[in-house]
Amino acid sequence: MTTAKSGAALQPIPRVGLTWLLVAQLLVVLPHLGHLPLWIVGLWLGCAAWRIQIFRMRAPYPNGWIKAGLMLGTGFGVYLSRGGLIGLEAGVVLLIAAFILKLVEMRSRRDALVVIFLGFFALATAGLFEDGILAALYYLLPLTALLAALIGLQQTSLAADPWATLRLAGSLLLQAAPLMLLLFLFFPRIEPLWSLPGPRERGVTGLSESMTPGDIAELGQSGALAFRASFEGPLPERSRLYWRALTLEHFDGRRWSQVPEAAQVEPPLWEKHGEPLAYSIVMQPSNQPWLYGLDVAEGGPDDARLMADFRLQQRRPVTRPQLYRLTSWPDALREPEGSVPALQRALQLPERGNPQSRAWAAELRRRHPEPEALVQALLGHFGREAFHYTLKPPRLGRDSVDEFLFATRRGFCEHFSSAMTFVLRAAGIPARVVTGYQGGEFNPAGNYLLVHQFDAHAWVEYWQPPRGWTTVDPTFQVAPERIERGLQQALGEEQGFLEEAPLSLARYRGIDWLNRLRLSWDNLNYGWQRWVLGYQGEQQMQVLRSWFGRADLRLLGLTALAAVAATLLLVALWLFKPWRREGDAQQRLFRRFEKLLARHGLHRAPGEGPRAFAERAVQRLPVQAGAIRAFVELFEAQRYGGRQGTPGELARALRQLRRALPWRSGEE
């Protein structure tokens, strides 16, 4: 038996198997094109053409020297294009290259099976780079093609018909769908022993770890999605939607940045006040470890923690859409006692620079000795004077705060927050810059908020006892429409909103039908990310608790095993049909043929073959010899000869025989 199996594995590759293998390779490589070097396309075209010529017996198989050269050349190409052979991007390129090169080397069915299995792995890696709903639907095409290639390798009656092979592959995929659904619902989500790094080449835009004048204004030109947020209760007022990402405490004269993480080890002290807000967020990839949330946030992923500056951060960067749940207390009392290191950091300024701002801060402190009065005076100054909110602020020099406050007076949110924080520190009031997002677009189709990159914002926190850290927004004094209605309304007639992103549908929100279409499509994607990609860990447990009352790993495992066993049992019953005494359609029609002749005294003997039985019937019924032989020959051709046909054709031959017989008493 082992020899027979080995011989079968070494058989030549059928035409239909090779055809679908080439199609599958093309479909598998296509979604990788965005992160593959261009020479991979040339490699696949060359190997595919070579493989076709080998099949047509117009080209030889590559010898050992050629294979070694291709392997070394591919490795060298990966090294040059990816800067090494280690890492996710380099590993995927190597896998795709092996998937392609194996095409010209394969000689037998066993080799073709290796190529197909490589194809399944290569298709799985595509999900690391793109896992949206459209991508998931597309992945069904190469998956079906790989199954068709696998079926085409077998020497069956389908081997000569590619479309019949494709139909069978689609049928098998549909039959597997219930089992896949059950495994998705019930299979326990166990934390992996290791994790793959996220793709560095995935294009992301968003806040950075530092801020200089003009940085957030650049984000105002981007319509990319930052995250979506769903609240369990009523939607808060827009003026309360300050989504914290980072706290910037260090200032070098021009750039605001975070302090080293080592200084953020101790958790902050805060007191819960007011009503909490419960909500969930689906965050888009940022390649950064920080998370978004309203102050003060609790919850999130298992490895998330609240840092000393009240930002929420996890250990690993967010490299794919991530769902997490938070509870926030917007009215919480934050560090009423004050941490000495934190207050020292919140007073730090360079020794030199911005002399006008320092002098003005001293004058404000002399006129307003109470910190609260000074803060209100500073906010009133922004509201009274001719400051202008714009996406196109002028470039600032070395003394950027002086130039903004006393010369240009044109800026975006980071200009106002940076200037106010500097003046407060110069006046002896601890203050810091907070960056994140403000507001969001309400989607009535799904009752959630869309927060885009153009919603990026910067504001100010200052500290005074016993209130602790207090949030103020100088931008509101200059452009209240930005906080109450959004960036597009705040800019008014200024031609700057998403002008560098003409294809962004968010730019055309004024076109009613297009906006409804955009929001409906986004709602569909949100459901995909929340209930499919986000169906992990706690989400799975919550769903199962709502069904079964309780859920743990043991119950989950037993439920998964029971569901899989029940599904396999149903499939087995459907395939074998033990409740039916007759066989398949051909066999059932032959039994009717036997019953028909039995009414004329002809009974098939045990072990008698169809042809021998037919010849004996011809001797008894010579007038009907043609109809008898026609039915049996057609039955043998379909049953044993591999002829393509349908049960309907065999049934017509049986009806013709019934009409030819002299006695037509119905047998059923």
- E strand or H helix that includes residue 527: helix 512-528
151 and 21 Cβ atoms separated by less than 8 Å: no
C-alpha span between 475 and 310 (Å, rounded) = 22
C-alpha span between 50 and 6 (Å, rounded) = 27
For residue 446, CA distances in Å to 191, 241, 451, 529 come to 31, 19, 14, 13
Among 309, 455, 457, 522, the one annotated catalytic? 457
Classify residue 10 by its DSSP letter. T
Q: In this structure, which amino acid lies at residue 504?
A: S
Query: Which of 526, 558, 523, 556 is CA-nearest to residue 541?
Result: 556
Among 215, 295, 413, 452, the one annotated catalytic? 413
C-alpha span between 234 and 324 (Å, rounded) = 19
Angle between helical axes of 39-55 and 88-105 (0-180°, round to 10): 20
3-state secondary structure at position 50:
helix
3-state secondary structure at position 607:
coil
- E strand or H helix that includes residue 43: helix 39-55
DSSP 453-475: GGGEEEEEEEEETTTEEEEE-HH
For residue 189, CA distances in Å to 177, 304, 315, 528 come to 19, 19, 20, 18
E strand spans, 381-421: 388-389, 410-411
User: Is 457 assigned a catalytic role?
Assistant: yes
Tokens standing for residue 584: 């398949």
C-alpha span between 200 and 470 (Å, rounded) = 37
C-alpha span between 541 and 344 (Å, rounded) = 45
Among 399, 455, 473, 522, the one annotated catalytic? 473
User: Is 413 assigned a catalytic role?
Assistant: yes
C-alpha span between 70 and 60 (Å, rounded) = 16
Residues 6+ apart with CB under 8 A from 155: 11, 14
User: Is 473 assigned a catalytic role?
Assistant: yes
C-alpha span between 629 and 653 (Å, rounded) = 10
Long-range contact set of residues 495-504: C-beta below 8 Å, sequence gap at least 24: 496/220, 496/221, 496/390, 496/391, 496/392, 497/220, 497/391, 497/454, 498/221, 498/222, 498/223, 498/454, 499/221, 500/221, 501/221, 501/222, 501/223, 504/223
Query: Which of 93, 121, 105 is CA-nearest to residue 37?
Result: 93
Residue 257 CA to chain centroid, in angstroms? 31
C-alpha span between 211 and 218 (Å, rounded) = 11
C-alpha span between 643 and 635 (Å, rounded) = 10
165 and 173 Cβ atoms separated by less than 8 Å: no
* Catalytic center residues: 413, 457, 473
